[in-house]
């Protein structure tokens, strides 16, 4: 069983044909995901509930089955619950080409289709995404329970109603109390109640907590609020709820504590004390009416806050799930492109004398490089983009892009600039900022099919207090405004959603603004957008000011010449045979002596054999032993061994425990040669 947010859970599997169920359970077990195989739909339906993390069903198992009981459960599941279903289909069995699959989505709700054939890592990735989504649902349940508990406490406080007043002088601990207050502590109206008497009447287990709260309020000026037990002179135990605020003198120094207290043990005693106040019925009704009106307003505010919190939670769950899936897809795609680009790079050398073949290879390379650019956009959305951060002068950056931006918008659009002479630098990746600016300007151009105007601006702003999307501090704002069609509020809300686009089919991926949003979050900034239909759109990229100074990179003659003509002994480790073969071919073409291993264990055996090598190049993501674990073992054998870690992700995962040079997939032969030269020069 797996524990998610204090819930013990397991996945349910219904795949009665062949060995599908056993294979699925085994794959999940390797990924530390508990599961239970259900021999029939009836058994599956009976096991649904809070303990089910997600459901795996094969398409053939439910093709002709009666889904009414299952659909009925889905229909009546709690509002916080949206149980994920993973439907394993044959190729082409997804909802895009299969109406039956689309109907399954309508019946089961939260459905992910996984087409055969698929790799085990893909199945685990989809399962973990579903598991994370279920965890968010359990978190939502906890939040809802907390909200309900808060509402109950609020109702309790409102129903208490009868309050006693009290005033504590900090100078001499003089205590002035009302009759009701003294009654809450078991004293009569004419019975004295000093500060020492009050503290002595508090239950010994709560006394220090109350004294600490009074001292904290006096020292910080924060409101005082404590619930504690009190013992009456007759020995009976009661509860009191004391609240107060600090009153300061003319010099701003804390002078006294003034507040109210209610007896939360027996509200009828409080009502009897109110009767003793000898007020008219009309006054009491008027006062009670005002309390009820205030309670009603407070309750409405609580409801509105809860609805906002639920909306934000649902949006966060959706974006997190899409981000995880997108980042995983980009990683796998980078691995595929690695084999394609590496082999095409070598093939281009072989056909250099054949112009037609060279043209065809160049075309294939350009297509593969466009695929690599797409993975960068996907990684940017998933906030896994590789950023080369350095102090960046945005004034110089924008000035250097004038010609490019002018060519991008064409003759029908007038572009102008509102940029000061100088601004402080920001810590950013200049290439990614240029790409983001170009993307925003092109978006503005596309929104003005009949021509218009675009203004690129830079300004500085100060955020005094933390907001929903920005921390306090100084920011540089890169803005792009246009006079285009603008967007309705509903469209503006979805503008940064991945794959959402208002452009015609084939004219946009829907990833541009998602990429910029992801970039802004990586840089600890924000993307803010405003728009009105018929009035145009303004997009602002807020980036924090940095005090760092850009350092000139020293030119190392050794680094520039290392590896050029030097024959090195290199061990290549990658569990993917295609990638390993491509890398070995590129290295041999560079003149190096290359050894190959297809797992961390094989590589470790090679190193322990005593055979000397000059460099280790290892993939990070490998089963049983990761590249980081291999590197750690290799360095224990040879602390001076240079190591390069190749990965399709932008950064090594947190907690990898090792700091090594990274070789980003996909890489070309030239990039590989450059990294080898740097590694061997150190």
pLDDT at res. 194: 92
pLDDT of 566 above 80? no
**444, 466: one domain:** yes
pLDDT of 560 above 50? no
- Last residue in a domain, options 107, 132, 152: 152
CA 416-422-423 angle, to 5 degrees, is: 100
**390, 530: one domain:** yes
**525, 643: one domain:** no
Q: What percent of the chain has pLDDT over 70?
A: 80
Alpha-carbon dihedral sign for residues 480, 481, 485, 491: positive
Query: 619 near 627, Cβ under 8 Å?
Result: yes
Report the pLDDT averaged over residues 263-292.
70
**183, 136: one domain:** no
Query: What is the pLDDT confidence band of residue 661, given thresholds at 50, 70 and 90?
Result: confident
Complete DSSP assignment for 544-568: EB----PPPPPP-HHHHHTTSS---
Report the pLDDT averaged over residues 418-446.
88
- Please check whether residue 234 lies inside any domain of the structure: yes
pLDDT at res. 353: 75
pLDDT at res. 398: 92
CA 568-572-574 angle, to 5 degrees, is: 170
Q: Which residues of 339-357 are buried (b: 16+ CB within 10 A; e: fewer)?
A: bbbbbbbbbbeeeeeeeee
pLDDT of 599 above 50? yes
pLDDT at res. 559: 36
- Please check whether residue 352 lies inside any domain of the structure: no
- CATH code: domain of residue 488: 3.30.565.10
**Beta-carbon contacts of residue 84 (< 8 Å; ≥ 6 apart):** 53, 54, 55, 110, 111, 112, 130, 133, 134
The H helix count followed by the E strand count for the chain is 22, 23
Query: What is the pLDDT confidence band of residue 83, given thresholds at 50, 70 and 90?
Result: very high
**166, 107: one domain:** no
pLDDT at res. 208: 93
* 97 vs 208, more confident: 208
Helix axes 512-522, 430-446, angle to 10 degrees: 150
Query: Of the given ranges (90-99, 405-414, 532-541), which has the lowest mean pLDDT?
Result: 90-99
**Beta-carbon contacts of residue 31 (< 8 Å; ≥ 6 apart):** 124, 127, 128
Report the pLDDT averaged over residues 474-480.
94
Query: 481 near 549, Cβ under 8 Å?
Result: no
pLDDT of 564 above 70? no
Query: What is the pLDDT confidence band of residue 507, given thresholds at 50, 70 and 90?
Result: very low
Query: What is the pLDDT confidence band of residue 157, given thresholds at 50, 70 and 90?
Result: low
**516, 641: one domain:** no
pLDDT of 557 above 50? no
- Please check whether residue 115 lies inside any domain of the structure: yes
Report the pLDDT averaged over residues 454-464.
93
Report the pLDDT averaged over residues 63-76.
88
pLDDT of 319 above 70? no
**Integer Rg of the chain from CA:** 34
pLDDT of 505 above 70? no
**Beta-carbon contacts of residue 525 (< 8 Å; ≥ 6 apart):** 470, 475, 541, 542, 543, 544
**19, 80: one domain:** yes
Query: What is the pLDDT confidence band of residue 556, given thresholds at 50, 70 and 90?
Result: very low
pLDDT of 657 above 60? no
Distance CA 39, CA 34 (A): 17
- Please check whether residue 575 lies inside any domain of the structure: yes
* Distance of alpha carbon 16 from the chain centroid: 37
Domain housing 502: 386-544
Query: What is the pLDDT confidence band of residue 137, given thresholds at 50, 70 and 90?
Result: confident
pLDDT at res. 269: 62
* 58 vs 499, more confident: 58
**391, 450: one domain:** yes
- Mean of all residue pLDDT scores within the chain: 81
Which residue from 562, 564, 618 is spatially nearest to 590, judged by alpha carbons? 564
- Please check whether residue 2 lies inside any domain of the structure: no
Query: Of the given ranges (32-46, 513-527, 610-624, 641-655), which has the lowest mean pLDDT?
Result: 641-655
> Sheet containing 643-647: which strands, arranged edge to edge?
593-597, 569-573, 615-619, 643-647, 662-664
Query: pLDDT tens digit string along 612-629?
Result: 999 999 988 888 898 889
- What are the C-alpha distances in Å from 446 to residues 67, 147, 441, 602? 47, 45, 9, 54
pLDDT at res. 3: 55
CA 238-239-243 angle, to 5 degrees, is: 145
Query: pLDDT tens digit string along 335-359?
Result: 667 767 777 777 777 776 777 777 7
- Please check whether residue 315 lies inside any domain of the structure: no
**248, 117: one domain:** no
**146, 226: one domain:** no
Query: Of the given ranges (205-209, 263-267, 501-505), which has the lowest mean pLDDT?
Result: 501-505
- Last residue in a domain, options 252, 267, 282: 267
**528, 395: one domain:** yes
Report the pLDDT averaged over residues 178-201.
89
- Please check whether residue 299 lies inside any domain of the structure: no
Query: Of the given ranges (130-144, 240-254, 318-332, 661-675), which has the lowest mean pLDDT?
Result: 318-332
pLDDT at res. 278: 59
Which residue from 79, 51, 59 is spatially nearest to 14, judged by alpha carbons? 59
pLDDT at res. 572: 94
- Last residue in a domain, options 544, 577, 597: 544
Which residue from 667, 628, 624, 346 is spatially nearest to 616, judged by alpha carbons? 628
- CATH code: domain of residue 227: 3.30.450.20
- CATH code: domain of residue 104: 3.40.50.2300
Query: Of the given ranges (482-486, 507-511, 539-543, 626-630), which has the lowest mean pLDDT?
Result: 507-511
- Please check whether residue 657 lies inside any domain of the structure: yes
Query: pLDDT tens digit string along 1-46?
Result: 555 555 578 999 999 888 889 989 999 999 999 999 999 999 999 9
Number of domains into which the chain is organized: 4
Task: Specify the 3-state DSSP secondary structure of 276.
Answer: coil
Q: What is the pTM of this model?
A: 0.36
Complete DSSP assignment for 216-244: HHHHH-PPEEEEEEEE-TTS-EEEEEEEE
**172, 44: one domain:** no
* 379 vs 575, more confident: 575
């Amino acid at each position: 069983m797996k524990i998610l947010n204090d819930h013990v859970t397991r996945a349910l599997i219904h795949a009665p044909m062949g060995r599908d169920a056993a294979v699925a359970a085994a794959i999940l077990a390797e990924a530390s995901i508990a599961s239970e195989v259900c021999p029939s739909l009836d058994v599956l339906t009976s096991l649904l509930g809070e303990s089910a993390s997600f459901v795996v069903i094969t398409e053939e198992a439910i093709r002709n089955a009666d889904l009414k009981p299952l659909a009925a459960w889905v229909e009546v599941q709690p509002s916080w619950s949206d149980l994920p279903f993973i439907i394993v289909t044959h190729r082409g069995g997804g909802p895009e080409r299969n109406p039956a699959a689309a109907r399954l989505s309508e019946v089961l709700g939260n459905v992910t289709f996984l087409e055969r054939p698929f790799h085990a890592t893909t199945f685990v990735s989809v399962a973990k995404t579903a598991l994370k989504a279920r965890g968010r649902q359990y978190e939502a349940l906890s939040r809802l329970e907390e909200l309900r508990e808060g509402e109950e406490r609020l109702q309790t406080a409102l129903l208490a109603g009868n309050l006693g007043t009290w005033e504590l002088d900090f100078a001499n601990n003089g205590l002035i109390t009302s009759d009701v207050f003294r009654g809450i502590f078991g004293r009569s109206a004419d019975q004295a109640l000093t500060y020492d008497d009050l503290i002595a009447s508090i239950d010994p287990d709560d006394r220090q907590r109350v004294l600490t709260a009074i001292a904290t309020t006096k020292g910080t000026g924060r409101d005082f609020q404590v619930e504690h037990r009190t013992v009456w002179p007759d020995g009976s135990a009661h509860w009191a709820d004391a609240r107060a605020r600090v009153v300061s003198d003319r010099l701003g120094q804390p002078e006294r504590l003034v507040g109210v207290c209610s007896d939360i043990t027996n509200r009828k005693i409080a009502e009897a004390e109110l009767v003793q106040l000898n007020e008219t019925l009309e006054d009491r009704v008027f006062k009670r009416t005002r309390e009820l009106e205030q309670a009603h307003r407070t309750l409405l505010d609580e409801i509105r806050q809860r609805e906002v919190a639920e909306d934000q939670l649902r949006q966060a769950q959706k974006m997190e799930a899409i981000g995880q899936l997108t980042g995983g897809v980009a990683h796998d795609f980078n691995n595929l492109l690695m084999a394609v680009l590496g082999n095409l790079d070598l093939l281009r050398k072989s056909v250099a004398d054949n112009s037609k073949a060279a043209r065809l290879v160049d075309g294939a390379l350009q297509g593969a490089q466009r695929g690599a650019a797409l993975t960068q956009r996907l990684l940017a959305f998933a906030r896994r983009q590789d950023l080369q951060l350095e102090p960046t002068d945005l004034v110089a950056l924008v000035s250097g892009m004038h010609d490019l931006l002018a060519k991008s918008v064409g003759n029908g659009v007038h572009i102008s600039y509102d940029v000061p002479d100088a601004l402080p630098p920001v810590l950013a990746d200049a290439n990614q900022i240029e790409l983001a600016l170009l993307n925003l300007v092109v978006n503005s151009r596309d929104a003005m099919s009949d021509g218009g105007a675009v203004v690129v601006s830079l300004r500085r702003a100060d955020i005094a207090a933390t907001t929903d999307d920005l921390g306090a501090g100084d920011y540089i704002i890169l803005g792009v405004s246009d006079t285009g069609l603008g967007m309705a509020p509903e469209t503006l809300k979805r503008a940064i959603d991945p794959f959402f686009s208002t452009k015609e089919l084939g004219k946009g991926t829907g990833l541009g603004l998602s990429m910029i949003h992801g970039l802004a979050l990586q840089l600890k900034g924000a993307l803010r957008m405003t728009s009105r239909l018929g009035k145009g759109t303004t997009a602002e990229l807020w980036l924090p000011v940095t005090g760092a100074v850009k350092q000139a990179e020293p030119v190392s003659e050794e680094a520039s010449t290392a590896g050029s003509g030097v024959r090195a002994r290199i061990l290549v480790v990658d569990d993917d045979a295609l990638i390993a073969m491509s890398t070995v071919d590129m290295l041999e073409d560079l003149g190096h002596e290359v050894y190959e291993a297809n797992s961390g264990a094989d590589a470790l055996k090679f190193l322990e054999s005593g055979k000397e090598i000059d460099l280790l190049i290892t993939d990070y993501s490998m089963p049983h032993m990761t590249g980081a674990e291999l590197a750690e073992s290799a360095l224990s054998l040879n602390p001076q061994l240079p190591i390069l870690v190749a990965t399709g992700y932008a950064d090594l995962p947190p907690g990898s425990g090792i700091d090594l040079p990274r070789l980003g997939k996909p890489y070309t032969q030239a990039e590989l040669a450059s990294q080898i030269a740097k590694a061997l020069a150190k």
